[in-house]
Chain A
Amino acid sequence: GENVEQHPSTLSVQEGDSAVIKCTYSDSASNYFPWYKQELGKRPQLIIDIRSNVGEKKDQRIAVTLNKTAKHFSLHITETQPEDSAVYFCAASRAWGTAGGGADGLTFGKGTHLIIQP
């Protein structure tokens, strides 16, 4: 099955600086890669996702890059703000409609606790 590794487990950055979180996956058939943000005691919220036919995707201060050959993908947050403090999870799966796939559920990394220092 799929295995997703996420680093670092904790990341502390100064407000206004950039933060980068990295994930690797093992199953070359995985083609859907979402990122979730979870605040303490709350549900995970999707912040951005990318499919394997795209190398990069950006949404305001957040971007995700994907390297299929190396099987790794990264989350980039620029101009960090205090409200960015949370735990971030990467995940991987085979997308619905993919041969051998079909909404089989996500495999998550163990999370990165992002701390924004004022």
Chain B
Amino acid sequence: DGGITQSPKYLFRKEGQNVTLSCEQNLNHDAMYWYRQDPGQGLRLIYYSQIVNDFQKGDIAEGYSVSREKKESFPLTVTSAQKNPTAFYLCASSSLVEGSGKTTDTQYFGPGTRLTVL
């Protein structure tokens, strides 16, 4: 877990503004994910990426965009098109294949960014 960082911890945004949330990992993990968590709810998948320069939409991608230019980084942009952006945003990563050749699906989460729209 310590190898995944998210910044900032708290973010305030005015309506109509785009904001970018940072996610960095130094675990050499292949796959990275963005989830959104609302109060009293489970996590919902926004976008994920299994390899550099490639990413796929999750269940709630509308109003969000991502890029994966480097293996270590997977920033999420919350655009003005996202109608209810106030939420706790969690980034995760997984290695997919261990050094021994065994597959692994364990996802490790970053500390999260709490976004509030004013």
List residues of A whose CB falls within 8 A of some B CB: 1, 4, 6, 32, 34, 42-46, 49, 89, 91, 93, 95-97, 102-111
Contact = CB atoms under 8 A, between A and B. Distances in A.
Given A43-B111, A105-B58, A95 B44 contact: no
Interface residues of B, number: 30
Contact of B45 (A42, A49, A102, A106): A106
A46 B41 CA distance: 17
Interface string B47-61: 010100000101100
Given A103-B48, A103-B50, A108 B42 contact: yes
Contacts of A96: 31, 94, 96-97, 103-105
19 contacts: A42-B112, A43-B109, A44-B90, A44-B109, A49-B105, A49-B106, A89-B43, A91-B42, A91-B43, A95-B105, A96-B96, A103-B30, A103-B31, A103-B94, A104-B56, A106-B43, A109-B42, A111-B40, A111-B42
B56 A42 contact: no
Interface in B25-48: 30-31, 33, 35, 40-45, 48
A79 B21 CA distance: 40
Contacts of B97: 96
B11 to A, nearest CB: 15
Nearest to A111: B42
A110 B40 contact: yes
Contacts of A95: 103, 105
Interface in B70-118: 90, 94, 96-97, 103-112
Contacts of B107: 34, 46, 106
